[in-house]
Amino acid sequence: MFVVGCVDEDHRGSEEGGRMKNEGEMQKGEEEEEDDQDYDSPPERQIVVGICSMMKKSKSKPMTQIMERLCKFEYITVVIFPEEVILNQPVDKWPLCDCLVSFHSKGTNQRTYVHPPYTINCIRREVYRILQEEGIDLPRYAVLTRDPDRPEECNLVEGEDHVEVNGEVFPKPFVEKPVSAEDHNVYVYYPTSAGGGSQRLFRKIGSRSSVYSPESCVRKTGSYIYEEFMPTDGTDVKVYTVGPDYAHAEARKSPALDGKVERDSEGKEIRYPVMLSAMEKLVARKVCLAFKQTVCGFDLLRANGHSFVCDVNGFSFVKNSMKYYDDCAKVLGNMVMRELAPQFHIPWSIPLEAEDIPIVPTTSGTMMELRCVIAIIRHGDRTPKQKMKMEVRHLLFFALFEKYGGYKSGKLKLKKPKQLQVSPSISSFPITQKPSVEYGHFSGINRKVQLTYLPNGQPKASSEEEGREESSQAYHVHD
């Protein structure tokens, strides 16, 4: 049996817990394994996780990173099916496994496993229908099927700035997608008021993901889905689930903008971390459950205050995120053990972690990673308050205080325009007591007046005022 692993022959003895079998390991024979004194054999009963895919995917960096972490589970062994076995051997000759990780790869045959395992993923079909049935928001769309046996689904009327598909009208701009999920040639058609033409999207080639074409007419051969164009902020949100309770999201520049792919110094496409709203997290859960895809990716469009799902990609991994690799392996490993450990009488329970300490490798060793700094700061560049504070004893202030019911609480706040017009007129009368603080010229009140009743006069501010006579009544006035 040909199996591929994540460690070479010289490092097998250093592996802890589970393991991933290497190419040619079975050919060495049991005798040579017994002679290897450094080799720690796994427990008697291992849960075998089979990876069924083409080598391009099974040996990709994300898959390798996740499988290496999955092998750290004590009772899990990973077996990767080689291409020649998948393509050329009968199914009953395929490796036996307890858990099958399988996803669609171009060139594979659709087969049924003879010994049914616990499956993590199934192949997706009829994406839009399932989204609608689950009540998940998606752009308004219509399907044009060019099939002689289904003429009722092939009614297309094209105008200068719109198309009518089976009675559904789509004004430009609109999106034209091939029905086949393997065809990534998606066109966006623009109205004549915006210059017309179309933006033609395709799988990334170098630094391009789309090109502009002056052609404004829709394609006349093939079956397509026509969608309402959603005006986003120039970004697409990619969401990756690992089970219904975990979702990782990233944003990238929309390929419909100018077609130029933004890349970093290492040549990788630039992506930005995204926080999902509570509703978007619920959508991620619904997509994962509806498509029966434990490891799943889908695209979100944020437009007009809502989020719409425009594509479901099936078995998809995040690229270049060590945090995601750790989380994905942990979720998958716990899922497999929770499902199969009781059947094989393996003593296992989900480990409880008191704290997820972010430790990262650096050139100076492993260190704790500062994830973020949160600060609430109020700037100090503001106009000072134009405020005057004084003690007054004039009878007109007492009358004003009583007129507006100030004696009920001992305080009065005047804000209405008529009230503010009365206060300056009262202030024009001679005031026996000078203001406690001189602010210079006082000209009008345009915000508010506050009065506080002081039955025994203003409290003494210092020992220097000991000799002053106490007044019977007074008010504090604030502008």
**Side chain identity, residue 298:** F
pLDDT of residue 435: 44
Q: Are 155 and 166 in contact (CB under 8 A)?
A: yes
For 210, how many CA atoms within 13 A lie in the half-sphere containing its CB?
20
Per-residue pLDDT of the chain (479 residues; tens, 9 = 90+): 222 233 333 333 333 444 565 433 433 444 444 444 444 544 467 899 998 888 888 888 889 999 999 999 989 999 999 888 888 888 888 888 898 888 665 555 445 555 555 555 443 447 888 898 999 999 999 988 888 888 888 889 999 999 999 999 999 999 999 988 888 899 999 999 999 999 999 998 888 999 999 999 999 999 999 999 998 888 899 999 999 999 999 999 988 888 898 888 888 888 888 899 999 999 999 999 998 888 889 999 999 889 999 888 877 888 888 999 999 999 999 999 988 998 888 888 777 665 556 666 777 777 777 778 899 887 777 776 777 777 888 888 888 888 888 888 888 888 887 777 766 566 555 444 444 444 445 455 667 888 888 887 766 555 545 444 444 566 566 65
**Side chain identity, residue 252:** R
Asked which of 229, 256, 288 is the last residue of a domain, the reply is: 229
Residue at 276 is within a domain = no
What sign does the CA torsion over 426, 427, 432, 437 have? Answer: positive
Whole-number Å distance between alpha carbons of 424 and 113: 92
Element (H, E) at 396: helix 395-403
Whole-number Å distance between alpha carbons of 185 and 200: 7
The structural domain count of the chain equals 2
pTM over 0.85: no
Asked which of 197, 229, 261 is the last residue of a domain, the reply is: 229
In sequence order, the 6+-apart residues with CB closer than 8 A to the CB of 421 are none
pLDDT of residue 273: 85
Within 10 angstroms of residue 250's Cβ, the number of other Cβ atoms is 20
Residue at 387 is within a domain = no
Within 10 angstroms of residue 277's Cβ, the number of other Cβ atoms is 11
Give the neighbor-by-neighbor strand order of the sheet with 474-478.
Answer: 389-392, 474-478, 449-454, 411-414
pLDDT of residue 171: 95
Residue at 147 is within a domain = yes
Whole-number Å distance between alpha carbons of 241 and 318: 10
Residue at 420 is within a domain = yes
Output the DSSP codes for 137-159. Answer: ----EEEE---TT-GGG--EEE-
Cα-based distances in Å from 370 to 154, 248, 367: 57, 19, 9
pLDDT of residue 29: 42
434: left (phi over 0), alpha (psi -120 to 50) or beta: beta
For 73, how many CA atoms within 13 A lie in the half-sphere containing its CB?
29
State in Å, rounded, how far the first CA of the chain is from the last one.
90
Domain that includes residue 156, residue range: 140-229
Residue at 7 is within a domain = no
Residue at 249 is within a domain = no
Residue at 450 is within a domain = yes
For 251, how many CA atoms within 13 A lie in the half-sphere containing its CB?
12
State how far Cα 188 lies from the chain centre: 25
Whole-number Å distance between alpha carbons of 83 and 104: 13
Residue at 196 is within a domain = yes
Asked which of 229, 260, 290 is the last residue of a domain, the reply is: 229
pLDDT of residue 239: 95
Q: Which two tokens stand for residue 290?
A: 């509806």
- Closest C-alpha among 71, 101, 55 to residue 296: 101
Q: Which two tokens stand for residue 334?
A: 């716990």
Q: Report the SS3 class of residue 115.
A: coil
- In 15-164, where does DSSP find H-type helix? 29-35, 55-58, 61-70, 83-88, 127-133
- In 291-364, where does DSSP find H-type helix? 322-340
> Where residue 211 sits, what CATH number does that domain have?
3.30.470.20
